[in-house]
Structure 1
Amino acid sequence: MWISHIPYPQSEGRLRSLYDRIKGPDDNVDNIMLAHSLRPHSMEGHMALYKYVLHHASNAIPKWFLETIGVYVSSLNACAYCVDHHFAGLRRLLNNDDRAGAIRRALQAGVFTDVFTPAEAAALRYAEALTLKPQAADELRSRIEATRAAGFDDGRILEVNQVVAYFNYANRTVLGLGVTTDGDILGLSPGNSNNPDDWSHG
């Protein structure tokens, strides 16, 4: 990491209480969160956004596909940190290495027809356009219309939009601060979707 940070054992006060909310086994705190340690309020905002966008019971899209969108966006942004973390989480959610491998190959190739439903494929194309050409209003509108026509209602399209926006934020946090996976436990996430205030990683 290219800026200083406060490790868990040296933390205290508000920072320690936030670390305790998000930590995994053996007091492990993911490096993307350690990167916020000099400004705990931004860590709190990051975790709230992450939990609500990706791990909330009110989402209609299955969590594995939200993670798939995150892996694809991170791949487009060449953010290996988020690809590695979220592909590990995706594989754990699917509990099917063959399926996970097929998804990863499809994302790498940008060929979705044999692996995803038409609605999922259209959503991934929207995610691609929003990540690479966020100023291209006509294309983005067309991608939304195609996703709607393929079967996603507007609420699901909003979910896709928010996951894409979150991962572009997270990717730039990681890439802009030189965050690596050194010492991280890959694939942990807040598993209790029914409690939006439970941020613990397990």
Structure 2
Amino acid sequence: MKKIMTLVCAALVAGAVVAAPGAAVAASGVPKGFLLYEKAAAKKDNDPETNWKVSDSLKARLALDPCDRGAPGKAGRVAARTVTFTGVPDFMKVEQVLLYGSKADAERAMTQVRAALSACASRTDSGSSYRYASAPVTGLGDDALKVSGQVYYGRKAGIGGDRSVVVRKGSAVLIYLWAGEYAKPAKHDWDNQLRDAGKMAGKICTIAVCA
């Protein structure tokens, strides 16, 4: 009997060790200072025309939300951090890291992003339309998209747009979005976002489940 109890205890301890990595991710969340923009956001800023905001809300709207309904990617989150910079007159950049309870949850979030891009590819208002277009990005995480949102007057691109990169790696989803006075989408519009997404993808597995 004593031998059986010893084996049972050993099995429980082994099970605890195996379960620990996933449990640690959920418990620790996103460490302070982990995001690329946090250092800049922490500096004192006396400029009334610029503003930084850092939020750990699990209910935060996805930075890329084509239908403007706050629906994509909310289910299954276990941790989140969103850093937003705004500057006058109309510049904004967002860094968002979302950790999900499983890779399947993160995959579902990406599926919902694609569905929203399809369902709300164009929104018309007062003679102009805001149109989204996306393309896959290879070699970045497990799944990645680059997305453009742009004002159009008929077929002519107007001023006002956003460019984002969305990446899933393991159980994490990363978004880097810049918005400003864009015109017709150009290749180099995503240079900064792709650079930042690559840096974050390189270290996200220290807090996400990637195996």
Same fold per TM (> 0.5)? Answer: no
Pair member with larger Rg: 2
Q: How high is the TM-score relative to the length of structure 2?
A: 0.28
Larger proportion of helix? 1
Q: How high is the TM-score relative to the length of structure 1?
A: 0.29
Higher relative contact order (CA 8 A, sep 6+): 1
